[in-house]
């Protein structure tokens, strides 16, 4: 997984509405983010799998960031 793909993923997370990040199931959230990243840069099957695991391991962080955007006084 290259740094450009990771930067694009985190940029996508920041641009996605916080409510969307919080309301989707873990599977749907990972799929949504992967789809958005692939629109920017097509991924090989191996890259797709690695990015999927990367996202899955960071779902709690992604949701915490989204929650802090909804409640900035708690951040």
Tens-digit pLDDT profile for residues 7-57: 999 999 999 999 999 999 999 999 999 999 999 889 999 999 999 999 999
- The answer on pLDDT for 72 being more than 90 is no
- The pLDDT of residue 52 is 97
19, 22, 44 from 67: Cα distances, Å: 8, 7, 32
- The pLDDT of residue 40 is 87
DSSP string of 13-53, one letter each residue = HHHS-HHHHHHS-HHHHHHHHHHHHHHHS---HHHHHHHHH
The model carries a pTM of 0.89
Confidence band for 75, pLDDT divided at 50, 70 and 90: low
């Amino acid at each position: 997984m290259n740094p450009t793909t990771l930067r694009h993923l985190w940029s996508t997370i920041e641009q996605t509405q916080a409510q969307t990040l919080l309301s989707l199931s873990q599977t749907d959230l990972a799929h949504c983010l992967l789809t958005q990243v692939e629109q920017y840069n097509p991924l090989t099957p191996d890259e797709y799998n690695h990015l999927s695991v990367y996202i899955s391991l960071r779902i709690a962080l992604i949701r915490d960031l989204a929650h802090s955007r909804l409640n900035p006084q708690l951040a």
